[in-house]
A = this chain, B = another copy of it.
């Protein structure tokens, strides 16, 4: 899922999102709650209409954003009290208000309000946090009213296998339309993240979608799919694009690099996207150096196309029962990098 934090996937129109193969996008409850306000969005016909996106839409619960506020927030059993970094105004989000906000926004899939523990953290701390997330999940399910809107539970438990097991069992017992693994990509080594997914993914009900929140690099997605995960969201393709970091079949390419100043090749010589069909690395470097908006546009378009094509190929490989081979080819292409003059 491309991330559309404030009701727009940065630099992209909805039509372009469809062109690059987006089937569902994510928006952030916290940001829309702060600005322009969920009630404004509701009065204007809901988030789909507000942002002109008629495809499926998922909103997160605000839990992770509030966690990211650090010093500005105070967590209690009731919920989270925090100060807006924009104007210092004091706000409270509770499980019930998170659901109410997400109902007002009107996404197709909404998420339970959860508590995300920091990393690293002691077993006791993570256990208490995870137990509160479970109590909050019950309150979310209780509060959720809106018909035709799926509610997903979030499994927490940090890097502790026993806590992930308890959290997964509790969430399955409450019963949700889908299940997420939260609290990953918070600073841990990729190896550790894969271990948690290895252990936790099989604990989730097989009939519902499995979603690892906030990851990740292309290789993280390939590894997580290998471990049975269905859904992802990450700002990496869009944010990195705006910083000039481009994803290719052969590895990453930093378009700021002087070596591209007269390079007539497209970003990725085997990519068929709009950007790779029409623009050279030299032009993209020029746009980036000049600070042109078109740099962000074209880079974002290409990176999202890369990610969404990778996932489309993963789906095809699964259907053809050749995922292990797809995974091997994914890594093999990266060995070609020297030939293709890619940065790494």
Q: Show the binding face of A for B, using Cβ within 8 Å.
A: 6-8, 10-13, 35-36, 40, 43-45, 50-52, 261-262, 264, 278-280, 282-283, 285-287, 289-290, 292-294, 296-297
A101 to B12, CA, bound (A): 35
Contact B296 A50, beta carbon cutoff 8 Å: no
Given contacts A44-B264, A293-B297, contact A286 B13 (CB under 8 A): no
Given contacts A36-B282, A36-B286, A297-B293, contact A262 B43 (CB under 8 A): yes
Contact A10 B283, beta carbon cutoff 8 Å: no
Determine how close the nearest CB of chain B comes to the CB of A264; give it in whole angstroms. 6
When distances are taken between beta carbons in the complex, the residues of chain B under 8 Å from A52 are 278-279, 283
Contact A6 B292, beta carbon cutoff 8 Å: yes
Contact A294 B261, beta carbon cutoff 8 Å: no
Q: Which 6 A-B pairs have the closest CB atoms?
A: A11-B293, A52-B278, A8-B294, A36-B286, A6-B290, A8-B292
Contact B40 A282, beta carbon cutoff 8 Å: yes
Please state the number of chain copies in the assembly.
Answer: 2
Contact B35 A280, beta carbon cutoff 8 Å: no
CB nearest to A291 among chain B residues: B6
CB nearest to A278 among chain B residues: B52
A-B pairs with beta carbons under 8 Å apart, 13 shown: A6-B286, A6-B292, A10-B294, A13-B294, A40-B262, A43-B262, A44-B280, A45-B264, A50-B280, A50-B283, A51-B283, A52-B279, A293-B297
Contact B50 A287, beta carbon cutoff 8 Å: no
When distances are taken between beta carbons in the complex, the residues of chain B under 8 Å from A35 are 286, 289-290
When distances are taken between beta carbons in the complex, the residues of chain B under 8 Å from A43 are 262
From B13, B279, B283, contact of A297 by CB (8 A): B13
When distances are taken between beta carbons in the complex, the residues of chain B under 8 Å from A278 are 52
When distances are taken between beta carbons in the complex, the residues of chain B under 8 Å from A290 are 6, 8, 35
Contact A283 B40, beta carbon cutoff 8 Å: no
Contact A283 B44, beta carbon cutoff 8 Å: yes
A115 to B195, CA, bound (A): 70
Contact B10 A292, beta carbon cutoff 8 Å: yes
CB nearest to A287 among chain B residues: B8
Determine how close the nearest CB of chain B comes to the CB of A133; give it in whole angstroms. 30
CB nearest to A12 among chain B residues: B294
CB nearest to A286 among chain B residues: B36
Given contacts A43-B262, A44-B283, A280-B44, contact A296 B293 (CB under 8 A): yes
Contact A40 B294, beta carbon cutoff 8 Å: no
A290 to B294, CA, bound (A): 19
A290 to B86, CA, bound (A): 11
Contact A44 B8, beta carbon cutoff 8 Å: no
Determine how close the nearest CB of chain B comes to the CB of A86; give it in whole angstroms. 10
Contact A261 B40, beta carbon cutoff 8 Å: yes
CB nearest to A285 among chain B residues: B36
Given contacts A35-B289, A290-B35, contact A7 B44 (CB under 8 A): no
Contact B261 A36, beta carbon cutoff 8 Å: yes
From B7, B261, B262, B283, contact of A286 by CB (8 A): B7
Determine how close the nearest CB of chain B comes to the CB of A14; give it in whole angstroms. 8
Instruction: Other than A8-B294, A36-B286, A297-B297, give 4 A-B pairs with Cβ distance below 8 A.
Output: A13-B297, A50-B280, A52-B283, A293-B297
